[in-house]
Amino acid sequence: MALLEIQDLHASVDGHEILKGVNLTINAGEVHSIMGPNGSGKSTLAAVLARRDAYQVTGGRILFNGKDLLEMDPEEAACEGVFLAFQYPVEIPGIGNAYFLRSAMNAVRKYRGEDELDAMDFLPLYKERMKLLEMDDKLMNRSVNEGFSGGEKKRNEILQLSMLEPKLAILDETDSGLDIDALRIVAQGVNAMRSPDRAFLVITHYQRLLDYIKPDFVHVLVDGKIERSGGPELALELEEKGYVRAEAEVQQALPA
Amino acid sequence: MSSSVDTIRDLAAQDYKWGFVTEIDEDRVPKGLNEDIVRLISARKGEPEFMLEWRLNALRHWFQMEREQGEPKWANVTFPPIDYQNIVYYSAPKQKPSLDSLNQVDPELLKTYAKLGIPIDEQKRLSNVAVDAVFDSVSVATTFKDKLGEMGVIFCSFSEAVQKHPDLIKKYLGTVVPHTDNFYAALNAAVFTDGSFVYVPKGVRCPMELSTYFRINAAETGQFERTLIVADEGASVSYLEGCTAPIRDTNQLHAAVVELIALDDAQIKYSTVQNWYPGDKEGRGGIYNFVTKRGKCLGRNSKISWTQVETGSAITWKYPSCILQGDNSVGEFYSVALTNNRQQADTGTKMIHIGKNTRSTIVSKGISAGFGQNTYRGQVKILKGATGARNYTQCDSLLIGDKCGAHTFPYIDVRNGSARMEHEASTSKIGEDQLFYLRQRGIKTEDAVSMIVNGFCKTVFKELPMEFAVEAQKLLGVSLEGSVG
């Protein structure tokens, strides 16, 4: 059974159809990348998978681990193992980052019928993971994302990913706004999480990130549909030619 | 988007858990307000002549105010006219409240306090909180009195103080909130039935938190209590106040007065968790909480700090204030006010700077949900002689849903050029993106809202004594439960 099966997915925001029939199957252990020009629907796809309210699904279905994902609330989807690393992580004043993360872990553990972690179990793990992501100790007790730099916010997303250990991790343009060092650290964090029972969906505009996180499959999303799929070489081709030219060539190659 | 608003709305609709009624015989005076009633109240309490005179004086003033202008109309709240002749001004559990031993207290009362989680039982010494419990109009028990007595700290019901410490009462009663101050203060002065009295002698740091628990039980009664706290030179005390009432579909009036006096180098910290019955979802019933609280920093280097968490009441009208008379004195006001369903709150503070180098801090956090209307009203006044005065005001509003309102009315009056004033204000809606972020990590909507709200209130909660802070957080969660679902 596939981990994620998206069939003919249609979705709209404020009455505008953004996704116009997406089909995608992801198996555990695989890393898929979705590339595409601005406005093609990449972030919408991520939001729908994370069950964000503002995105209305108007057709198709999504199975996650055999269960109907579209029936789930965001928190249910999260507890089932869907994780979204946000493109723009929000600041939440007054809630300590450690407290927040422990609350999240315990919510997930409770859902799965596992014992809750107390502070003594949690802290060593939290510190160790922070160290791996080269995060400053001073961020430990700060409010969630408050006063974090752009790079620190993205690292904080990966920190959460590594603590929550989801089955499917969706990275929504995690590379945007990162300098080369931060990119390397974030990619290391992600690569350390790769495992046969975890899949990744890496959404990016640029090939650059894929130098660090090697995908098994690359898909090109254009105007709400997956136009092409291929191996890692497809990303290189897109980088070289740009989306427009690459698309034009595809169009020409099609029989009239 | 719409579903998250619905969820928030549901979370804001939550049941009141303290709404039970205790079956107990009451001794009550007839409805209505006149000199005879005041004489009757004073007689029931066996008061000395000076108290009766004081009350009658206040009553005459109140009648005059009622004739001339009636209730204050400037607050941003609306309610139908109150018939002051249709209120019972004195109701007491029928049994002579014993101030010496808990064994003589009606077991029904003790059960009530147990249900409310009040540590009235002296065996719970570990809690280290001395409690004065006021049930309807009368103080029923004050705990730890002997232990406090050893240090010279007086902590007793107001009635007892009138009997045993008339000189202190005469000296300080009405010196911070005179009966002429406002309509409700005049009413309170005429008919107040009990309350708490605290005196901390020179140089004594009160070894435990002092606490009063107010409970309105009887129907059709008003509760009018009066609290007077005096910290003598170099003394310090921390005082907590909590309130609940049964669910009733008519409105009940609560018009209390609190006076604090801090002499040289003294410190008073006054914390309130107000959870009077707020009325139902349609706004039926609930307590009118019209309260005058004021502290006077009479001495040099004195400090008075108010912290309030206001989650209950149909209408809240209160402005715990500080008169900073002594040089270098400090006033603080930390407030969280939550209005949900049809609740209305008009609350804030006054900081009156008179002495040199006086400093004040105001941190107000208003949360509105449902159809709630939440108003911050604050005055900072720097008088001519207050050279070097400083004020910092921060005033934040959080809106949950799109049917509620937040309003801010700051009044700033500076008459000394050396003053330094800072004012920060913000209004935000509980963000759909914040909520989604937390939910995406597996946290349930209700918990997410409660986390965001608690985060918003953090700077105020950290001013509360530890146990109270935990209580306040829970209360806030409960008051918002069901507003998202």
Question: Sorting pLDDT into bands at 50, 70 and 90, what band is B328?
Answer: very high
Asked if the C-beta of B15 comes within 8 angstroms of chain A's C-beta atoms, the answer is: no
Which segment of A145-154, B17-26, B399-408 scores lowest on mean pLDDT? B17-26
pLDDT of residue B471: 72
**Which residue reads 């009663």 in tokens?**
B173
Asked if the C-beta of B436 comes within 8 angstroms of chain A's C-beta atoms, the answer is: yes
Average pLDDT estimate for A121-149: 88
Which chain B positions have a beta carbon within 8 Å of A94's beta carbon? 454-459
Q: Which of B4, B431, B455 sits opposite A143 (nearest CB)?
A: B455
* Closest residue in B to A50 (Cα–Cα): B440
- The model's pLDDT over B136-173, given as tens digits with 9 standing for 90+, comes to 555 555 667 777 888 999 988 888 899 999 999 999 99
* Closest residue in A to B454 (Cα–Cα): A94
Determine, for residues B439 and A74 on separate chains, whether the beta-carbon distance falls below 8 Å.
yes
Average pLDDT estimate for B222-236: 92
Asked if the C-beta of B427 comes within 8 angstroms of chain A's C-beta atoms, the answer is: no
Which chain A positions have a beta carbon within 8 Å of B444's beta carbon? 75, 107
pLDDT higher for A179 or B413?
A: B413
Closest CA to B360 of B337, B383, B336, B339: B383
Q: Which two tokens mark B318?
A: 């209160």
Determine, for residues A94 and B441 on separate chains, whether the beta-carbon distance falls below 8 Å.
no
Which chain B positions have a beta carbon within 8 Å of A75's beta carbon? 439-440, 442-445
- pLDDT score of B311 more than 90: no
Whole-angstrom distance, CA of residue A159 vs CA of residue A254? 44
Whether the CB-CB separation of A167 and A112 falls below 8 Å is answered with no
pLDDT of residue B71: 84
Q: Which of A74, A86, A95 sits opposite B451 (nearest CB)?
A: A95
Determine, for residues B436 and A74 on separate chains, whether the beta-carbon distance falls below 8 Å.
yes
Determine, for residues A75 and B458 on separate chains, whether the beta-carbon distance falls below 8 Å.
no
Asked if the C-beta of B458 comes within 8 angstroms of chain A's C-beta atoms, the answer is: yes
pLDDT of residue B213: 72
Which chain B positions have a beta carbon within 8 Å of A73's beta carbon? 439, 445
User: What is the distance in angstroms between the Cα of B316 and the nearest Cα belonging to chain A?
Assistant: 26
Which chain B positions have a beta carbon within 8 Å of A53's beta carbon? 1-4, 432, 436
Asked if the C-beta of A14 comes within 8 angstroms of chain B's C-beta atoms, the answer is: no
Question: Sorting pLDDT into bands at 50, 70 and 90, what band is B253?
Answer: confident
- The model's pLDDT over B111-127, given as tens digits with 9 standing for 90+, comes to 665 655 555 554 444 34
- The model's pLDDT over B456-469, given as tens digits with 9 standing for 90+, comes to 888 888 888 776 77
Whole-angstrom distance, CA of residue B165 vs CA of residue B152? 13
Asked if the C-beta of B1 comes within 8 angstroms of chain A's C-beta atoms, the answer is: yes
pLDDT of residue A74: 96
Mean pLDDT, chain B, rounded, equals 82
Asked if the C-beta of A89 comes within 8 angstroms of chain B's C-beta atoms, the answer is: yes
Asked if the C-beta of B456 comes within 8 angstroms of chain A's C-beta atoms, the answer is: yes
Helix axes B35-44, B49-68, angle to 10 degrees: 150
* Closest residue in A to B457 (Cα–Cα): A94
Rounded to whole angstroms, what are the CA distances from B49 to B46, B55, B59?
9, 10, 15
- The model's pLDDT over B79-112, given as tens digits with 9 standing for 90+, comes to 888 888 888 887 765 554 444 455 555 666 566 6
- The model's pLDDT over A207-229, given as tens digits with 9 standing for 90+, comes to 888 889 999 999 999 999 999 99
Write the burial class of residue B105 (CB in 10 Å: 0-12 exposed, 13-18 middle, 19+ buried). Answer: buried
Name the A residues in 188-247 with CB < 8 Å from any B CB. Answer: none
Distance from chain centroid for Cα A10: 19
pLDDT higher for B29 or A230?
A: A230
Helix axes A150-164, A180-193, angle to 10 degrees: 10
Average pLDDT estimate for B353-364: 96
Question: Sorting pLDDT into bands at 50, 70 and 90, what band is A84?
Answer: very high
- Candidate ranges A65-69, A149-153, B102-106, B481-485; pick with highest mean pLDDT: A65-69
Ramachandran angles phi, psi of A179, nearest 5°: -80, 175
Question: Sorting pLDDT into bands at 50, 70 and 90, what band is A147?
Answer: confident
Longest Cα–Cα distance of chain B, Å, equals: 68
Whether the CB-CB separation of A225 and A18 falls below 8 Å is answered with no
Q: Which two tokens mark A166?
A: 């989801």
- pLDDT score of B19 more than 50: yes
Q: What is the pairing mode between strands B138-142 and B129-135?
A: antiparallel
Determine, for residues B455 and A107 on separate chains, whether the beta-carbon distance falls below 8 Å.
no
Asked if the C-beta of B459 comes within 8 angstroms of chain A's C-beta atoms, the answer is: yes
A–B CB contacts, 8 A cutoff, strictly below: 79
User: What is the distance in angstroms between the Cα of B470 and the nearest Cα belonging to chain A?
Assistant: 15
pTM of the model: 0.79
Whether the CB-CB separation of B344 and B370 falls below 8 Å is answered with no
Determine, for residues B440 and A53 on separate chains, whether the beta-carbon distance falls below 8 Å.
no
User: What is the distance in angstroms between the Cα of B278 and the nearest Cα belonging to chain A?
Assistant: 27
Q: Which two tokens mark A73?
A: 């609330």
Which chain B positions have a beta carbon within 8 Å of A50's beta carbon? 436, 440
Whether the CB-CB separation of A171 and A200 falls below 8 Å is answered with yes
Which segment of A108-112, B5-9, B212-216, B389-393 scores lowest on mean pLDDT? B5-9
Paired strand residues for A12: A17, A56
Asked if the C-beta of A79 comes within 8 angstroms of chain B's C-beta atoms, the answer is: yes
Amino acid sitting at position B269: K
User: What is the distance in angstroms between the Cα of B367 and the nearest Cα belonging to chain A?
Assistant: 15
Q: Which two tokens mark B323?
A: 């008169």
* Closest residue in A to B436 (Cα–Cα): A52
Whole-angstrom distance, CA of residue B118 vs CA of residue B68? 43
Q: Name which of B1, B428, B440 to mutate to probe chain A: the one with the most chain A Cβ atoms within 10 A of its Cβ.
A: B440
Instruction: Write down the number of H helices and E strands in chain A.
Output: 8, 12
pLDDT of residue A34: 95
Whole-angstrom distance, CA of residue B259 vs CA of residue B174? 8
- Candidate ranges A247-251, B110-114, B182-186; pick with highest mean pLDDT: B182-186
Question: Sorting pLDDT into bands at 50, 70 and 90, what band is A12?
Answer: very high
pLDDT of residue A136: 85
Closest CA to B361 of B326, B321, B334, B335: B334
Whole-angstrom distance, CA of residue A160 vs CA of residue A183? 17
Closest CA to A37 of A243, A202, A256, A207: A243
Asked if the C-beta of B72 comes within 8 angstroms of chain A's C-beta atoms, the answer is: no
Closest CA to A172 of A188, A192, A186: A186
Closest CA to A217 of A35, A86, A62: A35
- pLDDT score of A109 more than 50: yes
Which segment of A12-21, B218-227, B300-309, B398-407 scores lowest on mean pLDDT? B218-227
In this prediction the ipTM stands at: 0.94
Asked if the C-beta of B433 comes within 8 angstroms of chain A's C-beta atoms, the answer is: yes
DSSP letter (8 states) at residue A117: P
Torsion sign, CA atoms A124, A130, A133, A136: negative
Closest CA to B407 of B382, B458, B372: B372
Asked if the C-beta of A164 comes within 8 angstroms of chain B's C-beta atoms, the answer is: yes
pLDDT of residue B126: 39
Average pLDDT estimate for B39-67: 92
